[in-house]
Amino acid sequence: MNSAQDTFKSGTIASFPTLFGYMSIGIAFGVVGVASNLSVLEITLLSILIYAGAAQFIFCGLYLVGTPMSVIIFTTFIVNLRHFLMALAIAPSFTKYSVLRNIGFGTLLTDESFGVAIAEKAKSNTLHGKWMDGLNVTAYLAWIAASIIGAFVGNWIPSPEKFGLDFALSAMFIALLVLTISASPKSKIMHYLKLIGVMVFVIYGLLYIFPSHLAVIVSTLIVATIGVVTERK
């Protein structure tokens, strides 16, 4: 990426391929939030303060069945631990920026923006601050707006699962995976596909030992380590 592309606008443009996904999933969350007896204000605050699709859907499910708030907070924390791994992966590109700036990059990092950033880094071998701000802030605002829209729409959709809205997040992750792999160099695609196979095998085994949310974290750590070691070789 040259210096001319290190702009907020270029980061915003880079977010467009996933922006429709943000909007659809955000609207789905708003609808599910209303079905979980959350108000429009509560749905909006969840999107502003938590800003994590998977965790927000989990929050709705736990809240609906009367789960203690301490358990909800702990579960949300565990589910979002993967964000530390993603932030660590892109952190070397931002060592020249201040600590406060890096906190901003990490706070607004999501699975989708991480996928876009990694794909960009694979092409240009670097990332820049203004570009990352454009990517993150655009996605953040789109998510909040979509959640609010979904909250109002949810008043007319009493059973969102009938329309498949509860599958929206899974569909977005699948689409992001396909886009990330297709944007990768051909020499690395087979390596990534092998790692996906290992991930399936590892997480399947760990599900017999750990709860699902812990199995995801542990398997991610294991396979990410394998990926780094094998790629260096």
Average pLDDT of the segment spanning 96-123 = 88
Encode pLDDT of 174-220 as tens digits. Answer: 655 665 666 666 777 787 788 888 989 998 898 888 877 677 778 87
Residue 28 pLDDT: 83
Q: pLDDT band at residue 12, thresholds of 50, 70 and 90?
A: very high
Give the count of beta carbons closer than 10 Å to the beta carbon of residue 72: 16
Write the DSSP assignment of the chain as a string of letters. Answer: --GGG-SHHHHHHHTHHHHHHHHHHHHHHHHHHHHTT--HHHHHHHHHHT--HHHHHHHHHHHHTT--HHHHHHHHHHHTTHHHHHHHHHGGGGTTS-HHHHHHHHHT--HHHHHHHHHHHHHHS---HHHHHHHHHHHHHHHHHHHHHHHHHGGG-S-GGGGTGGGHHHHHHHHHHHHHHHTS-HHHHHHHHHHHHHHHHHHHHHTTTS-HHHHHHHHHHHHHHHHHHHHH-
Give the count of beta carbons closer than 10 Å to the beta carbon of residue 83: 18
Whether 141 shows a pLDDT value over 80: the answer reads yes
Write the DSSP assignment of 35-66 as a string of letters. Answer: HTT--HHHHHHHHHHT--HHHHHHHHHHHHTT
Average pLDDT of the segment spanning 115-141 = 88
In contact, 48 and 65? CB cutoff 8 Å: no
Average pLDDT of the segment spanning 58-71 = 81
In contact, 131 and 14? CB cutoff 8 Å: yes
